[in-house]
Structure 1
Amino acid sequence: MYELKDRDKIIVFTGPDGSGRKSVAEAVGQTFGMEKVISYVTRLPRPGEVNGQDYHFITHEDYLEMERQGEFLESVKIAGNLYGIRSLDIEDNLHLKGCVYLILNHEGADILKQVYGDKVIRLFIYADRRTLEERQHNLGLDKDVIRRHLSHFDIDMGYRSSCEHAFENYDLAQTTYEITNTLETYLQRELVDKD
């Protein structure tokens, strides 16, 4: 098992569905050259999602077998689908890069915080309910899916105070800039401003 080093960091992007946490996470991850740890899920891909890039889309049976083998650090059931993170994926990437990022709901973010403690920095990404609804509609999500996502908006927003940092996301470039500056203090890498 990999022993975490002092400088190892696990950055978790969380927040309500439609907040733009994926877009923000990928922009910030690219800026810092961080590896993304990809969750496993038993649901079908949504419009625009790519297997191995957004999630590892696997069968229910394969997921349960991996769970029986004790591979998942975190496993949750949401709307009848199973979502899990393998500790091996986190630790292998930390060993290679020293810093990883994940995009998780608040349950997953909590589990990682409990397991890895101060190595985990939770970044809460959010916008108002109407904006989230519009974004999900523009992604082509089914009305029932959007309604289900928005049904737990208040619970998701309640997690904001538990996170180390929170960022309103109405402008991707601005949000990415703010998060990059915030993470500099944790990652202690001197990025050169190319302007």
Structure 2
Amino acid sequence: MSKGKLFVVAGPSGAGKATLVRGLLAADAKVQLSVSFTSRAPRDGEQDGRDYHFVSREEFLAMVSRGEFLEHAEVHGNLYGTSQKWITDAMAAGQDILLEIDVQGAQQVRKIFGDEIGIFILPPSAEVLEQRLRNRGTDSEDAIVRRLANAREEIARLAEFDYVIVNEHIDQAVRDIIGIVRAERCKVAAQSERHQSLIASLQG
């Protein structure tokens, strides 16, 4: 059985990562989302185990001390982390995994895996980014200013990723992320592993 691929989606808050991820998951049943752990409180409509695993800060730090996370980071005062065992087991079983994380987390994943596919999501302009953050209605003015400052720092690390999607028109951006996943599956190395017997039979 061929090993699954790890897709890492990152970008600044307000770029539309979650919307693109939902579009990809709806279109491609072979991709499974890794559900992160977080110490922050659920937002309206979020469900434990579906959007995040919500835990206390103390419980999160205990998991860190036990070495349970592939990556973890503090973002905007909240802790986020990804279960290493779950991802390793799922990929070994041939499952493609999608991680939606921040740039810090993507760097940690890169150090451990090295063969992940990094996809960076950009907003079409600074003005649109700020408007999206304000339209959420979930952040204070201080939090919005902090997120905009963080966005500049994150975008400065764009070159660390393999692909960039400018999320101006959501339908096109969803098609772009679906196209990236399908193209990666069609690379020679992946197809040679997946279809060994077919290729051998065709070569006579």
Q: Same fold (TM over 0.5)?
A: yes
1:102-113 matched pairs, under 5 angstroms: 102-113=99-110
Task: From 4, 12, 19, give the equivalent of 1:8.
Answer: 4
Unaligned runs of 5+ in 1: 190-195
**Aligned to 2:164, which of 146, 149, 166?**
166
CA distance in 2, matches of 1:134, 1:49: 22
Q: Which protein has the larger Cα radius of gyration, Structure 1 or Structure 2?
A: 2
Cα deviation, residue 79, structure 1: 3.1
CA distance in 1, matches of 2:3, 2:88: 13
Instruction: Tell me by how many angstroms 1:6 deviates.
Output: 5.2
| Structure 1 residue 40 displacement after superposition | 0.9
Partner letter of residue 149 of structure 1? R
Per-residue deviation, 1:161: 1.5
The Cα offsets for residues 105-135 of structure 1, whole Å up to 9 and x where unpaired, read as 11111111111111x1010001122111111
Asked if 1:42 corresponds to 2:36, the answer is no
Aligned to 2:64: 67
Task: Please tell me whether residue 82 in structure 1 is matched to residue 76 in structure 2.
Answer: no
Instruction: Tell me the number of residue pairs that the alignment of Structure 1 and Structure 2 aligns.
Output: 185
Normalized against structure 1, the TM-score is what?
0.86
The residue type equivalent to 1:181 in the other structure is: G
Provide the residue aligned with 1:132 in structure 2: 129
Please list the CA deviations of residues 29-81 of structure 1 after superposition, one character each: whole Å capped at 9, or x if unmatched. Answer: 23221111011111112344332222211101111221222111212122332
Which consecutive unaligned segments of at least 5 residues does structure 2 have? 188-204
Q: Distance in 2 between matches of 1:116 and 1:162?
A: 14
TM-score (norm 2): 0.83
Cα RMSD, aligned residues only: 2.0
Q: Report percent identity of matched pairs.
A: 29
